[in-house]
Structure 1
């Protein structure tokens, strides 16, 4: 097949959405499909374009058999609500023409847009129509809802207009996929035809990320003893993560000298968080680690921390959760009962109410004091990753759906897709 992917983030950006877009493109290319990507220069999560990618020579490149076209983009130093909107709009404008030209002359079988950013979706849809291609939109998070819930965008009238436009865009696509059952329900509420909805979960390479038989070398580097309990957060450091709860929990557990907090990553909120963490001796800050060190990093933890702000648990399903589960360590997450995130963590860790630092600290204390519980939940986490998150099974089913839709078949006749619209692995590997 010929597959064109249109999305704002791609390698060498390392965490979150760019990781999954890159892995999907390269997986399809390795299977013999022709894959092209229209994207922006790397900038995430540092919100700064590396000097190497300011050269015109980097605007077109081929990486691991994937041909990449990069469009110029406005990257703000301080991505506030309005600046973030301008940032997304700049990519929608500059990437529209190359996406439509490639589709018109290359005639891909499938044109897939990755959201965020939804602002680019109209160009994705138009490119598919110009190329006679199937139009597929993949929703990694409900960025519009999240922006209003977290106060980045404000005003009921503005929200109503934005949601009307969003609904119009979503209903144009032949397929709209997202990463959890709860988010599929959200798509239905937004007016998407249920027959067009697919669940395309985020995945993990369960061979690359797995429990280590020996202690992680990071523990020796941190001078952590066998009795020390390492509580790790690794990922984007930004407003929507609600990482201030880690500061509060560290304060509440300050007298428990064997409980140590490690926060690894970067992002728009890094400077503010680091300033707070600096005065806490039980918090260690680390820069974002390269992928080849990720397994050792995740295995250095006794407990993984996954904070989220209130209202975000069904709008975004944190991509970092897949590696946490695959590493075979228990998770302490903040999520409302009945939310999609709570369902994912159920049996693999402990969920506490969002922004409740006392409950968050108590959950960490419980796991720190109960090695048998940590072991049980960690083994369940690894089993969940093997059963639900294997990259090869998930993308093989996505490939079958791509073939199906590119041939014009309707969902009801697709024998490769389960009746619930899922393109995920069955129980077991």
Structure 2
């Protein structure tokens, strides 16, 4: 198969959508498919220009068997809603020369548009209209719903227009794939029939990320003893996670010197969170940059307890990507989720984490206390690893998606 992928993020991004897109492309290429990626220069999650890539120019490279066209874009150091729109639009504009080149080159069987941003689908749709091929919109995050529910954009007319354009793109797609049942229900409510939907969950390399002992972890790298109790958050430090709750709860534990809160990552909220830490005098909270992927199993083993946090408004619109690694590592996680959402139901039904109410410091404090006191923790950790191996194994998820594409191409 010839597959053209369009998305703003890809490898070498360490977290989020870019990580999954890069791994998908590499898997498809390794299995004999011709894969081309049109993407931006790497910048995420640090929101800074990568030193190995040109700031204002284009670059073509071969990565993991994939031909990658890199396009320049505006990268805001403080990614507000308005700046993110400008950021996305500059990438869309800078990709025009690449799309013009692709229109006059070989025909692709599939054009895969990675959302968000949802409006990137405009060029894959034009390609489908002009050259043919099947268009798949892969929804990692229902961007318009999130900004609406969280009140990030106040202009109702603009929001209505965004929902209309999104609905148009989804209906024009041959298939719409997404990562959770809750998101499938939301997409169906936008008028996309079930026959056009493909379940394509995020995955984890269960052979690489697996349970290891605390003694083999990276604790010594961060000045943490094996006797300390570690509550760990790793990932994007954005606004939709509600991470200020970590500091509020850490304040309640600050008299217990053996309990440490470690926060790994970068993002739009990092400076604000660091300022809050200083104002509150929290010596039990430490910030670190994201660690290299090859160190991820040892990083996950640092934690006695993991935090998977998001605000209530985003609770059924996103499936936290960090959770897959935690489950594969057999980690114990405190997870904020609302009853009747996909995340809540999956964790509850499989008994593989401690569920607490989003946005509630008391609930988070109680969940952390339960987790640190080992309330049923060994069974929860065993269930987590079992679920990862059964439902999230990388080769199984990606293999099923590839088979689906081949079957549809024959029909």
TM-score band (shorter)? Answer: over 0.9
Q: Which residue of structure 1 aligns with residue 302 of structure 2? A: 300
- RMSD, matched Cα: 1.7
Q: Which residue of structure 2 aligns with residue 413 of structure 1? A: none
Q: Which residue of structure 1 aligns with residue 316 of structure 2? A: 314
- Three-state SS of the structure 2 residue aligned to 1:241 is coil
Q: Which residue of structure 2 aligns with residue 246 of structure 1? A: 246
Matched residues in 2 for 1:339 and 1:31: separation?
35
Q: Does 1:166 align with 2:177?
A: no
Structure 1 residues not aligned, in runs of 5+: 410-429
After superposition, give the CA deviation of every residue in 1:38-75 in whole Å (9 maximum; x if it has no partner).
00111111211123311678611111111010122122
Shift of 1:93: 2.3
Shift of 1:362: 0.6
After superposition, give the CA deviation of every residue in 1:130-161 in whole Å (9 maximum; x if it has no partner).
33211111000001111122222113332222
Matched residues in 2 for 1:167 and 1:57: separation?
33
- Three-state SS of the structure 2 residue aligned to 1:201 is coil
Out of 392, 405, 408, the residue aligned to residue 402 of structure 1 is 405
Q: Which residue of structure 1 aligns with residue 78 of structure 2? A: 78
Q: Which residue of structure 1 aligns with residue 286 of structure 2? A: 284
Instruction: Tell me the TM-score normalised to structure 1 length.
Output: 0.91
Q: Does 1:392 align with 2:395?
A: yes
Shift of 1:345: 2.5
- Three-state SS of the structure 1 residue aligned to 2:273 is helix
Contact 1:329 1:374 in 2 (8 A): no
Structure 2 residues not aligned, in runs of 5+: none
Matched residues in 2 for 1:168 and 1:303: separation?
43
Q: Which residue of structure 1 aligns with residue 272 of structure 2? A: 272
Matched residues in 1 for 2:239 and 2:181: separation?
25
Q: Which residue of structure 1 aligns with residue 354 of structure 2? A: 350
Shift of 1:213: 4.2
Question: 1:204/1:103 Cα in 2 relative to 1: closer, same or farther (>3 Å)?
Answer: farther
Q: Structure 2 matches for 1:32-51, cutoff 5 A? A: 32-51=32-51
- Three-state SS of the structure 2 residue aligned to 1:52 is coil
Q: Which residue of structure 2 aligns with residue 30 of structure 1? A: 30
Contact 2:316 2:341 in 1 (8 A): yes
Moved more, 47-56 or 353-362: 47-56
Contact 2:57 2:71 in 1 (8 A): no
Contact 1:28 1:35 in 2 (8 A): yes
Q: Does 1:131 align with 2:131?
A: yes
The count of aligned residue pairs is 407
Contact 2:36 2:68 in 1 (8 A): yes
Matched residues in 2 for 1:266 and 1:129: separation?
39
- Three-state SS of the structure 2 residue aligned to 1:171 is helix
Contact 2:338 2:344 in 1 (8 A): yes
Shift of 1:254: 2.0
Shift of 1:257: 2.7
Shift of 1:122: 1.4
Instruction: Tell me the TM-score normalised to structure 2 length.
Output: 0.95
Matched residues in 2 for 1:32 and 1:113: separation?
21
Q: Which residue of structure 2 aligns with residue 383 of structure 1? A: 386
Q: Which residue of structure 1 aligns with residue 95 of structure 2? A: 95
